[in-house]
Amino acid sequence: MTIPLRPRIDSQAFLARSRTILNIIKANKSGAEHSGNEHEKQAAFQTLESVCKQAGSPLQRVEYTLHPWVSFAIMPIFALANAGVTLGSGISSAFRHPVTLGVILGLVLGKQLGVTLFAWLAVRIGLADLPKDITWRQIYGAG
């Protein structure tokens, strides 16, 4: 609740500053690279990177950064803990626990079969039409 949602600069200011920086980079291009010229281009790239960071909201940046940690570490740990799986006897025994196997089978097989069968059933009874250029294999892949 304390991380700002609004970006530091608006889209018009971002476009103006980006164009200025890109014009500097374009003006500094040459066939034979000089160390001073490269230094100016590198500084322009760093400035452009800073402007791009300012154009995105801090909240979205934090959310994007934390997403892999939450999806692949924190959520599975909470799911296993709330299901009552204990890790006291080792991680290998936790993966052999019936609840863990049920969660894995439910998510891996159950979701694929459920999405595919529901789509097939919806098309079969006329509730929906299979989109043009979409195959059942693609429906299964989406599941």
Q: 18-48 pLDDT, tens per residue?
A: 999 888 888 876 555 555 677 888 888 999 9
DSSP code of residue 3: S
- Interaxial angle between packed helices 35-55 and 11-27, expressed in degrees from 0 to 180 and rounded to the nearest 10: 170
Q: What's the pLDDT at 135?
A: 92
Q: What's the pLDDT at 34?
A: 55
Mean pLDDT, residues 113-141 taken together: 93
Q: Report which of residues 102 and 120 the model is more confident about.
A: 120
What is the SS3 assignment for 15? helix
- Residue 113: pLDDT band (50, 70, 90) is very high
State the Cα–Cα distance between residues 9 and 15, nearest whole angstrom.
Answer: 10
How many CB atoms are located within 10 Å of the residue 43 CB?
14
Which H/E stretch holds residue 85?
Answer: none
Burial of 35 (0-12, 13-18, 19+ CB in 10 A): exposed
Residue-wise pLDDT tens digits, 38-91: 788 888 899 999 888 888 888 988 999 999 999 888 988 888 788 877 767 777
- Residue 138: pLDDT band (50, 70, 90) is very high
State the Cα–Cα distance between residues 74 and 67, nearest whole angstrom.
Answer: 10
For the ranges 28-32, 34-38, 116-120, 131-135, which has the lowest average pLDDT?
A: 28-32
Integer-rounded Cα radius of gyration of the chain: 26
Cβ neighbours for 66, distance < 8 A, ≥ 6 positions apart: none
Q: What percentage of the chain's residues is helix, strand, coil (to nearest 5)? A: 70, 0, 30
Contact predicate 44/20, CB 8 Å: no
